[in-house]
Amino acid sequence: MCGIVGYIGPKQATTLLLEALRRMEYRGYDSAGIAVINGTGLKVRKAAGKLSNLEKQVAGDLPRGTVGIGHTRWATHGAPTTPNAHPHTDQSGRIALIHNGIIENSGSIRKALLKRGHTFTSETDTEVLAHLVGELYQGSLEEAVAAALREVDGAYGIAVICTEEPDVLVAARNGSPLIVGIGESERFVASDASPLLEHTRSVIYLDDGEMVILTRDGYRVRDLEVKHIDKPVNQIDWDLATIERGGYEHFMLKEICEQPESLANTLRGHLLEDEGTARVAGLNLTDDELMSVERIIITACGTSWHSGLIGEYMLEELARVPVEVEYASEFRYRNPVVNDRTLVVGISQSGETADTLAALREARRRGARTIGLVNVVGSTIAREVDGGTYLHAGPEVGVASTKAFTSQVAALALLTLRIGRLRNLSILQGRQFIQALTSLPAQIEQILSRTDELKVLAERFFTGNNALYLGRGVNFPVALEGALKLKEISYIHAEGYPAAEMKHGPIALIDENMPVVFIAPRDAVHSKIVSNIEEVKARGGKVLAICSEHDTEIERLADATFTIPQTLDLLTPMLTVVPLQLLSYYVAVRRGCNVDQPRNLAKSVTVE
């Protein structure tokens, strides 16, 4: 969601801040702004819309100064207008503040400040916080920020500067990620690592309830009281080239095409073919502890939730453990039944998803063991769970998740192997599963070599307003994911359904204008889905089928087909989803949509 960046050092801040904000555009935003301190005071520039609007505004009058903060906003309190854009200033105009998150008691604080003579120019909770810091300022920005944050409830990641202390930048977090960058004679703070890589690889990850005070000479980390905190300096192990488009038209297409490599990276070093099992050392669970697990709950949001549904099929089939898949946003509000024999698995690409993090914290509070499947090293979920594994899929910049999905399913397959072999999965079954897993990257490569076929199929979709995606068994979640991708980036209404449920409602929608996508590989329910296709055809529906090679029966029935290589039934989702990702991409491009930054969406959802 919102992007935060701050800088203090010898360089001119404005150009650096604008470039950093450009590297965070992928997060999703609707306005942008900067604030810089120079010899004449505080220079604030902001604009609604894309970053280019802000760049045009400052082009003829570049604010000068070597300390500053920048922000891209995703609207929560108030519409995406210039007055609501960050940074916000206090009543005196000497303090500027940027904020990611939601201050839940901002309404009561605003009322109290209004009674004390404050006036506000925006609808935001952030301006309320800026005014509160300003009111508490008595010569120390550090103490004013700490005092203000002790009065607020909610989630925040903030960065604050003050003209009275031009050599200080204060930042703090509670629920919204912040990273501190340590460079030569310069310091940075940012929402994620992408804007830092050009300048430094040495970073500190702030935890909830922590503040950092950055100066030209160094930094200090403390809590909201007075306690000093020693933090380790970590090294980022990927470089700037990995977050560039590399010749692709869009990040999404690049990331779809990276899946053979990203999937191989997720599996690398984990598979033990001779033993028919997987090594997942990061789980921090002994064999006895895994054997004592009576139930698994997978909690996630969006695409990660869909991968969790596939994990449910794999774990129940091969490990014979009861599994429930929960929307993280609902989990902690329904008094879930968990105990010390429950394993709760949180899945999040960013490792910062607020709802998933809250669900995992609630599970731990109730005595459950928690593990995380995340892609971002050093993320909050990775630091707070009892164990887990990194996806190693590489940075994912496109808002619509693609390669993270296949890596999440692969990570769940590793977990399945590990638990299954401890229970009732034979060594021969384990070896067969491993052989099929290791073949997947090459099979995805085969699919990607035929993208021109999907460009042609996209011509059948791009003028439509609705689409129905149907699958059975382990490919029902793929139907959900395919529909999600289409509506996320092309703005076509699409629904995913279990194919057998079609006749309990959605069949009423089917006519010659309703495209229906079937995920229909040759698996254990193949004959059933053939019947479902016939039902659609009998009502004039237009069918596109994702099917196995040489499936003459489905090729005869469907209006169009795209074939995939054969693999084990439980692993087909990692193949069937790839053509659906590409189909959505080409439809969106054909419709002229902003593929990498679809409207109203954010890459990392760090508020509830």
Q: How many Cα neighbours within 13 Å face the side chain of 494?
A: 29
* Cα–Cα distances in angstroms (integers) from residue 81 to residues 76, 96, 603, in the given order: 12, 18, 21
Cα–Cα distance for residue pair 261/89, rounded to 1 Å: 46
* 162 annotated active-site: no
CB 444 within 8 A of CB 575: yes
How far is the C-alpha of 45 from the C-alpha of 81, rounded, in Å? 13
Q: What is the largest CA-CA distance in the chain?
A: 79
Distance (Å) of CA 338 to CA 147, 284, 294, 365: 37, 19, 10, 10
Contact between 510 and 539 (Cβ < 8 Å): yes
Q: Which neighbouring-strand residues pair with 234?
A: 203
Q: Please say whether the beta carbons of 479 and 519 come within 8 A.
A: yes
- Active site (annotated) includes residue 2: yes
- Torsion region of 33: left, alpha or beta (phi above 0 gives left; psi -120 to 50 gives alpha): beta
DSSP 8-class letter at 349: S
d(CA 503, CA 480): 17
Catalytic residue among 46, 254, 485, 603: 603
- Give yes or no for a contact between 587 and 253, defined as CB atoms under 8 angstroms apart: no
Name the active-site residue from 2, 162, 257, 547.
Answer: 2
- Write the Ramachandran bin of 540: left for phi over 0, alpha for psi from -120 to 50, otherwise beta: left
Rounded CA gap, 395 and 343, in Å?
28
Tokens of 245: 């488009």
Place of tokens 């053939």: 530
Catalytic residues: 2, 603
